[in-house]
Amino acid sequence: MQRKAKRKTAAVFRISVARAIGKRAVANGSVTGMRKRRRRRSTVTAGGSRKATRLRSAIRRGRSAAVPLHTASAAYQAGFRAGIADAAHLSIEQEPDRKKALNRHWLERVRAMRWLGPPWDRYVEAARGYVKGFFIGKKKPAPDWLMLPTAQSVAAIVAVMNEERTIANIMKQLNRLPFDEVFVIVNGTSDRSFLKARQASQAVIAAYPEPLGHDVGRALGAKLAQSDILLFLDGDMVLHAEDLISFIGGVESGLDVALNNITPYMRVFAKRDSVTHMKQFLNASLDRPDLEANSMTAVPHALSRKTVATLGIPNLMVPPKAQALAVHHGLRVGIAGSIDVIRSNKRRKHNTGKKNRLAELIIGDHLEALKAVGGLTGERLAFVDNLRSRAGAGGEV
C-alpha cells in the first residue's frame, strides 16, 4: 500500500511540474509562437486546398451552407454580385410562384453574362451565387434553390416502383428547381412510395396497382405533360439538382434528345455485357458511332416537345426504338451530361445475372429498333453494300 501511494504521489508531482513548465513557456511566448507558426504554415499549405475542395463539394452537392465570397469561384462571385444588384430594385414577394419569378430575373442576367450554356459547372456556380446574393440583398435567409437555364416550360417525370427509401430525397432535389410540372408514376408498389412522394412534394402522382415497368411509366408521364422540355428520372436514384441542369440546358441549346454519357463509367469493350454491346451496335448501325453505348434506356435524359410530337407516345415505351426513330427523322440526338448511374443502379432479382429478364427485354428492344428503322431505310441501315453486283448472279439490286 505504501509503495502504491508513493508511486501515485510521484506521478502527481511529475504532472504538476509539467504543467508548471508549460504555463511558463506559454507566458514567455515560446510554445504559443511555435504553435502559431505551425498553424500558419499548415493553413497556407493545406488550408487553401481544403477550402477549395469544400467549396466545390458544396456547390456540386447543393448544400445550403454559406460559401465565403472571398473563397468562391469567379462564376459564383459574379452571380452573387448580380443577385445583390437585382435585390435593390426587384421584388418577388407578390408573385404567385416566387421561384419561377426569380428564375425570370436570373435568365436576364445570365444572358447578359453570356453564360447560358456549357460548361454547366460554371453556370451552376453562378446560379447558386445569384440566389444567395439576391436574398442577402433582401436581408432574408437564402433558400436552397437552383435556377433553370431556360424560359421554356419544363416537366420532371419520375417512374417509381417500391422506392420508399429514395423517393423523398428525389423529390427534395426536384423541389429546389422551378419546374412547371412534376409527375410521379407509381406502379406495382407494395410499400409506402406513394405516401412518401405525396408528403415530400406537390407533384401529380399517378398510381397503378400493377407493375408497368420504367419505360411505360415514362411514356405515361410524357402523355400527361404539357411542357416544352421533358426530363426523365427513375425513383431508385437520388441525383442532385445540379446534376440535372446539363440535360435541360442541352435541350435549351438545341438538342431534341439529350442523353447521359455513361460510357466513361463502363468496362473496356471486351468485358462489357451483351446489353451494352447491343446499344453500341445500334448506334453504329444508325451511323452514329459517336453516341457509343449511350441510350435512352439510361436516365437522366431529356426530350424536346418536338421529339414527343414526332415519335408519338407509344414509341417512347421502347427507348431504343424511340432513339432509332429520332435519328431516322433527323432529330438532334446528342450527349448533354455525364453522370455515373451504373454504380447507383438498384440491384434486383430481375436485373442481375448473365441471362436476367431485364437484359433479355432490352436486347429485344434493340432488335425491335433495328427492324423498325430497317423497314424505313433498308435492311442494311448504315452498312451499304457497294462492293457486289448482285444483278450479275440474278440477285436483287
The tens digit of pLDDT for each residue in 329-353 reads 999 999 999 999 988 765 555 445 5
Q: Which three cell numbers stand for residue 167?
A: 423517393
pLDDT score of 208 more than 50: yes
Task: For domain 154-377, give the CATH number.
Answer: 3.90.550.10
pLDDT score of 142 more than 90: yes
Distances (CA, A) of 281 to 146, 201, 292, 327, 370: 38, 40, 8, 14, 10
Percent of the chain with pLDDT over 90: 68
Domain with CATH 3.90.550.10 in the chain: 154-377
Q: How far apart are CA 78 and CA 67, in angstroms?
A: 13
Phi-psi label, residue 254: left if phi above 0, alpha if psi -120 to 50, beta otherwise: left
**Residue among 301, 297, 299, 153 nearest 225 (CA):** 153
3-state helix, strand, coil in the chain (%, to 5): 55, 10, 35
User: Using an 8 Å Cβ cutoff, are 379 and 371 in contact?
Assistant: no
User: Using an 8 Å Cβ cutoff, are 289 and 283 in contact?
Assistant: yes
DSSP for residue 175: T
pLDDT given at position 349: 54
Q: What is the mean pLDDT of the chain?
A: 85
pLDDT digits (tens, 9 = 90+) for 48-100: 455 445 544 544 444 444 556 767 899 999 999 999 999 999 999 999 999 99
CA 12 to the chain's CA centroid: 60
Percent of the chain with pLDDT over 70: 79
For the purposes of burial, counting CB atoms within 10 Å of the CB of 10, is it exposed (0-12), middle (13-18) or buried (19 or more)?
exposed
DSSP for residue 380: T
Instruction: List CB contacts of 38: < 8 A, sequence separation 6 or more.
Output: none
Instruction: List CB contacts of 12: < 8 A, sequence separation 6 or more.
Output: none
What is the mean pLDDT of the segment spanning 246-272? Answer: 93
pTM attached to this predicted model: 0.80
pLDDT score of 33 more than 70: no
pLDDT score of 3 more than 90: no
